[in-house]
Structure 1
């Protein structure tokens, strides 16, 4: 039977569309996940830890979720470079066809990609930015790191409970630093402590002498300190110890700044520094024991995990859950809905994604640096606050 020309054209186009649909279905067998991080530059240690954790997770799960191959596509942001982060996120979505993005260490970089998450409906798992408000920048953002309010507010309370009545707050001068200032103050004053001074340190500072002099002259009982993990945190704490402030009786309370991967650079002078944080490779639970053993077996001593490692590991666990929940289909809304209220057993302890805020709920640990019999420096847990929500969101509901 002969069909009219126009109808033949329609049938041909329909067959072409069907073929493209089948082709797309076949291509969907591989789920692509974009990884954005600092793999070069002064913050390259973050990229190393991201890759260690993600490659281990892939190996443990045979790079498969819901019957689909999972491919990780790494891109180097090179530090706190918002324009580059946005460019790379756009390329990952448009050119590479990723369905999910994991990574980023700085608030400016995560905010730079928020619009892309919204417009493309691509879930983005923020691994480190500690600014509470970032998850409100897009309904497709969640977090597996921590917020400054989660650790700094309890640190302020903890310092007061240890007999510290006056404090100076010292913080890097950018968005998470603002949160650190506010949350340290909130926790310390809530208990009845007095803040003598707030000191803001420009991002990238290497000479801390002026700021340390101000602490010395203020004569507080304690310095409550936030610096981004890496060159600034190590540099500040080394300078603090070298100047003799600890010996002068001005204790220092921090968060991630004394993570175990940085303690060798600080040496024995770190002994006695208190911190409040969410993870240590020496935490005693079955998941963490297996996690540390797997990493050190795979990478040797350099595999010792830190906050970046566990955040990346848990971040990919969320992605795998979303792939399972959507059966591999590209549906950002359904993917995000699937993790609301989800609880996973992380190496750091139980982790839940708040069903209302999409932010992380987790334990925080009150700790002190000690030296083991074998000479290894570590954070000894003194107490645990369980299932801590982000206090800022509790105080500032939408």
Structure 2
């Protein structure tokens, strides 16, 4: 378990009284009184720190940690210090994720639950948080149902839905490279709803699905799937997976020379994946959900510098997911002036993130009645290296997420609130 807190036995009122007694009439900006108090407000992060999604999970944790530092430097949550408690959910074991969620809520008495990278684990955790009535922020689990057919009043999501991701890229792939597609898809909630999204896009734009293989999470050998894909003669081989699975699949596709015969693409990619690939395998068209190079967007460079100071590396979309997730908890409580979950969830309905948290061209907001964050999607292509060593993705266009999200009714979310 990992925790962070800023606390001291001296209250804010005592500090001000001492200052007045010393004859200090004013404390001019940028003087900041840090969050103080004996009882911290606890945020519980239940996320993968081992397995296929370890790298992405750890980066979400880093984003949470930076947010906690900033929250405490700005007065904390309701004047109390914020503290982060972290548990390893594993990358694919729903039983472990649920057990850790219950521990954080029942034993550690967290006021907020965060997680999970794995969509299936996020759905399982949402059942627990809903049962317990705890505000739950899902930083990076994409499957549509989280803010769709199984939505809950207490569960909010930072990353995009899978349908938003396919809507952002599918038509441009068909227009540029052809409409015959073969799919290699992760066999769990994330892959399933990505496939559903692409299937709908193919039907909408006259595409053809030549075949689909479902691959278990944690697959290391993709050779049989790649052989089947090339035999169908597709225009595009579409990889609907993430983490180490996507890394291994792309490496093997390039080793087989498939990139010389077909276009390789997918839905979302991650900087963690691109960093792990050899330069020759940094190819294909993808969505990025956040990117560290955004000229002219306020506060992005400050965020990048703060993360580099902590880790020596640039932030990824996952770092931003975790950062926004933890900040969402503080914003909800401070806006509601309460740690009551219903009051905080109500306060988040329609809330726009402040620019220093949103960090993208289209100011992100939580859509009322669905609890889905709507912001920007960065559509582009992977590259061996761009303007700097860690510039591994070229943004071709920035898409407004509101145009990709459909309506609340189309999402299938029928939210009910406690009486």
**Does 2:134 match 1:122?**
yes
Number of matched pairs: 367
Give the strand-richer structure, 1 or 2. 1
- Identify the match of residue 209 of structure 1 among 216, 223, 230: 223
Distance 2:328 2:388 in 1: 37
In structure 2, the CA distance between the partners of 1:44 and 1:387, relative to structure 1 (3 Å rule), is closer
SS at match of 2:379: strand
1:309 corresponds to:
319
Q: TM-score, normalised by structure 1?
A: 0.86
Conservation of the 8 A alpha-carbon contact between 2:44 and 2:104: yes
1:36 corresponds to:
46
In structure 2, the CA distance between the partners of 1:214 and 1:352, relative to structure 1 (3 Å rule), is same
**Does 2:195 match 1:200?**
no
- Identify the match of residue 200 of structure 2 among 178, 186, 201: 186
After TM superposition, the structure 1 = structure 2 runs for residues 170-319 of structure 1, keeping only pairs within 5 Å, are 170-228=184-242, 230-248=243-261, 250-257=262-269, 259-284=270-295, 285-301=297-313, 304-319=314-329
- Shift of residue 143 of structure 1? 0.3
- Shift of residue 77 of structure 1? 1.3
Distance 2:128 2:214 in 1: 32
Distance 1:121 1:27 in 2: 25
- Shift of residue 29 of structure 1? 4.5
After TM superposition, the structure 1 = structure 2 runs for residues 324-363 of structure 1, keeping only pairs within 5 Å, are 324-327=334-337, 329-344=338-353, 345=355, 346-349=358-361, 350-363=363-376
Distance 1:377 1:149 in 2: 26
Conservation of the 8 A alpha-carbon contact between 1:132 and 1:390: no
1:106 corresponds to:
118
- Shift of residue 112 of structure 1? 1.9
Conservation of the 8 A alpha-carbon contact between 1:153 and 1:186: no
**Does 2:155 match 1:145?**
no
Conservation of the 8 A alpha-carbon contact between 1:256 and 1:307: no
**Does 2:169 match 1:159?**
no
Distance 1:394 1:189 in 2: 21
- Shift of residue 197 of structure 1? 1.5
Distance 1:341 1:234 in 2: 36
Distance 2:231 2:391 in 1: 31
Conservation of the 8 A alpha-carbon contact between 2:71 and 2:82: no
Root-mean-square deviation over aligned CA pairs: 2.2
Q: Greater CA radius of gyration, 1 or 2?
A: 1
Distance 2:136 2:377 in 1: 24
- Shift of residue 109 of structure 1? 1.5
SS at match of 1:61: helix
Unaligned runs of 5+ in 1: 1-25
Conservation of the 8 A alpha-carbon contact between 1:153 and 1:185: no
In structure 2, the CA distance between the partners of 1:139 and 1:28, relative to structure 1 (3 Å rule), is farther
Between 1:372-381 and 1:213-222, the stretch displaced more is 372-381
Conservation of the 8 A alpha-carbon contact between 2:142 and 2:160: yes
Conservation of the 8 A alpha-carbon contact between 1:170 and 1:181: no
In structure 2, the CA distance between the partners of 1:28 and 1:360, relative to structure 1 (3 Å rule), is farther
Distance 1:387 1:41 in 2: 30
- Shift of residue 185 of structure 1? 2.0
